Amino acid sequence: MFLYEKLASDLYDYNPQIYKPDDFDSFWTQTKELAKEKLEFTMEAVSYPLKARIFKVTLKGYDDTPLSGWYLLPENDQKTYPLCLFFHGYRGYASSPSSFASYLLNGIGVLAFDLRGQVGASGDSGYEGGHVPGWVTQGLDNPYQCYYRRLIVDALRMVDLARSLPDVDPKRIMLQGGSQGGGLTLATAALSEHIALAVAAVPNMCLMEQGVLYSTSSLKEVIEYLRLYPDKAPAFFKTLSYFDNVNLAPAIKCPVLVSVGMQDTVCLPKGIFAAYNRILAPKEILVFPFSGHDGGGENYTRAAMEFALKHLKP
C-alpha cells in the first residue's frame, strides 16, 4: 500500500470529544421555532438566455433581512420537480442561472440565494459590538445573536420556501454546497426533517475549535479577534460549539454524500471525518488524496450528480 492510500485510513474511526452546551437542544428548539415565524417572499420572472424558467426571488430572512436569490425550473412539462437548494461558499454569492444548467438539464429545479452580508445582494446588520473583517466573529460571544444563527434561520426558511412552491415535489428536496455551503448543508439537514438528501463538498463548520487554531481561511478571523481580546475565547468557543456539525451530525436522517480533499488546509480532513463519523443515516464519503479545497473537482461534480439522480427518482 502506498503512503497516499493511508492518508484517510485512520480517520474512519476518528471520534474526538468536543464541548456540547447543556442547553444545546433547547437552543435549537427555540431557533427552529424562530425560523417558522414567517414565510414572506416575492418572485418575479426574468428574461435570461437559458432554456429554463427563471425567477428572481427575495425572501425575508432573520430579522426581516431581504435575501436575494434565483429560482430556476427546467423547461419541460413535468407537473412537479425535485429541487436542489444550493448554498455557496464563504465570500461567494449565488452566481448566475447558467451556473446551474446541469441541474436543469437533469430535470432538477434550483433555489440559490446570496447568503446574508457576503458578496451578493443580501444584507445583514444589527450586531452589538465590533468584529474583524469578514462575518464569522459578528456577535460571536452570544449564540443567540451571532452570524451563524442568522445564517441557519435563513436556511431553514429557504427550505420552507422550497416546500411551498407549487412546482416543487416537497418530498424530493436536496441540499448541496461546498466549504461554507457544505457545512450549512449538513447543519440544515440535521435541523430540518424535510430533506431528501444532502451533498456536502469539503464542508466547513466541522470540529470548529480545531479549524480556528489550524485552518487557513474563514475561521482565522476568530484568531485575529482573539489576538486582541483573548479573554473572549471561552465565550467564542462555546458559541461555535452550538453550530459545530460534530454535535449536529447525529440528528441527520437523510442520505448524505460528503467529499474531502486530503491536502485541504481550509476545511481540514480531520474535522470533516469527525462530523462524518457521527452521521447515523446512510452515508458515503469521497476521499481525494491529491486534492485540496477543490474537493475532487470534476470527479466530485460527476459523483455528486449521480448520487442526486439516484436518490431523487419519483
* Residue of 69, 53, 55 lying closest to 107 (CA atoms): 53
pLDDT (average), residues 227-236: 96
Q: Which residues face 69 on adjacent strands? A: 57, 113
In angstroms, how far is the first alpha carbon of the chain from the final one? Answer: 42
| pLDDT for 127 beyond 70 | no
Measured CA to CA, the distance from residue 157 to residue 305 in angstroms comes to 25
Measured CA to CA, the distance from residue 209 to residue 140 in angstroms comes to 13
The pLDDT, as a whole number, for residue 132 is: 66
> CA quadruple 216, 135, 245, 236: dihedral positive or negative?
positive
* Residue of 75, 16, 18 lying closest to 237 (CA atoms): 18
Contact 126, 144 (CB under 8 A): no
Which CATH number fits the domain 14-311, given the four candidates 3.30.750.80, 3.40.50.720, 2.60.120.260, 3.40.50.1820?
3.40.50.1820
pTM of the predicted model as reported, rounded to 2 decimal places: 0.96
Measured CA to CA, the distance from residue 261 to residue 291 in angstroms comes to 5
Q: Which residue has the cell 430572512?
A: 61
Write out the catalytic residue numbers.
179, 264, 293
pLDDT (average), residues 183-191: 98
Where do the structural domains in the chain lie, given as residue ranges? 14-311
pLDDT (average), residues 71-81: 89
Q: How confident is the prediction for the chain on average, in pLDDT?
A: 94
pLDDT (average), residues 107-132: 84
The pLDDT, as a whole number, for residue 183 is: 98
* Residue of 102, 205, 104 lying closest to 152 (CA atoms): 205
Which residues are within 8 A (CB) of 12 and not within 5 positions of it... i.e. 6 or more apart?
273, 277
